Amino acid sequence: MKLRLPVAPRPRIEMIPLIDMVFLLLVFFIYAMLSMAVHRGLPVLLPTSSTAEIETRPLLSITVKADRTIYVNKVQVDPKNLAASLNQSAGKNRDRDVMVFADRNLAYEDLFQVLDQIRMAGLTRVSLQAGPVRAP
């Protein structure tokens, strides 16, 4: 009498759980990268803009608070010495981008004095930073 032993099916890799895990990892890494956005400015109340984008290249950042204190890369600078400080920070790279974080309560004239100092330092690639529009 011949005994029939049960034949175990060949193992196989299920694709649907594998695809689920890959998508889960992809979502995790995308979320992690978006939460690691580089912010070089100090906390101020930025104006809002519906077309604001996140900048990721290394730049010079200038923060102007409502009380007219000025910071270059988080270091407080005297407004009279702003152009000299920017010359020192930029070095020989005159094509360097400058991000200006100005408080929304800052007077328009004070902002233009800062922009004049940036231009006197020979830097021409200036972007004013804004936050996203909040939903009502």
pLDDT of 96 strictly over 80:
no
| Confidence label for 51 from pLDDT (cuts 50, 70 and 90) | confident
CATH: 3.40.50.970, 3.30.420.270, 3.30.70.141, 3.20.10.10. Which one for 48-132? 3.30.420.270
Q: Is residue 42's pLDDT more than 70?
A: no
Mean of pLDDT values over 26-54? 74
Q: What is the mean pLDDT of residues 122-126?
A: 84
Residues 6+ apart with CB under 8 A from 5: none
Q: What is the pLDDT of residue 135?
A: 63
50, pLDDT greater than 80: no
Which secondary-structure segment (H or E) carries 132?
Answer: strand 131-132
- For the chain, the C-alpha Rg in angstroms (whole number) is 27
pTM above the 0.85 mark? no
Sheet holding 70-72, edge to edge: 75-77, 70-72, 60-64, 97-102, 125-128
31 class by beta-carbon count within 10 Å (0-12 exposed, 13-18 middle, 19+ buried): exposed
Angle subtended at Cα 74 by Cα 68 and Cα 75, rounded to the nearest 5 degrees: 80
pLDDT at 97 over 60: yes
Q: What share of the chain is helix, strand, coil (3-state, %, to 5)?
A: 35, 20, 50
- Residue 55: pLDDT over 60: no
The average pLDDT across 82-93 equals 79
